[in-house]
Amino acid sequence: MERIPYPTTRLELSVCLALCDRAERIATSGYLESRCREIAAIARSLSDADRTFTDRAETLFAEFCRETTNRPAAQQMFNRWLSITLLSLGRPSTPGDTRAVQLGLRSKRCAESVREYLNELKPFMDRCHLHLPSGATLGVELPSEVAVVAGR
């Protein structure tokens, strides 16, 4: 937890909330059918949460991005929180990832959640004129088919 930064401005908070909320929803969806009833119940309660603040946060950030001169700062904030949220989805291709799915604790592998997350972010990135950085830039391992797109 000490490695997770705090947003320093309301604008950075908006992109933080927008990305964290989306990542939480996608991660939660992998636990809705968990073999563990308690985990599934927690996932359902998170899945049912009101997410209207996500739209407001995205709109605020997109308004900032309308100004071409703001986009480098916006990209930097986006990269920072994208890296954190990607890590929150788990580490693809690890023994723990495989085991969680095999045991029925989670229905999706981490790489599938990452792909779903990045696909859902495309309209937001387009609206804000942002690009998907490479995994190396973010300090995370992206699934191979995503890495090819990001490395362009």
pLDDT digits (tens, 9 = 90+) for 70-101: 999 999 999 999 999 999 998 888 899 999 99
The model's pLDDT over 30-40, given as tens digits with 9 standing for 90+, comes to 999 999 999 99
Q: What is the pLDDT of residues 7-27, one digit of tens each?
A: 989 899 999 999 999 999 999
DSSP H helical ranges for 1-152:
10-29, 37-47, 52-65, 71-88, 95-102, 110-128, 135-138, 144-150
- Please tell me whether residue 65 adopts helix, strand or coil conformation: helix
CATH of domain 10-150: 1.20.1260.10
In terms of Cα–Cα distance, which of 117, 6, 12 is closest to 64?
12
Asked if the model's pLDDT at residue 151 lies above 60, the reply is no
What pLDDT digit, counting tens, does each position of 105-124 carry? Answer: 999 999 999 999 999 999 99
Rounded Cα gap, residues 110 and 116, in angstroms:
10
Structure tokens at 116: 């779903």
Per-residue pLDDT tens digits for 130-146: 999 988 888 887 777 66
Asked if residue 82 lies in contact with residue 19, where contact means CB atoms within 8 angstroms, the answer is: yes
The residue extents of the domains of the chain are 10-150
pTM: 0.87
What whole-number distance in Å separates Cα of residue 10 and Cα of residue 58?
Answer: 12
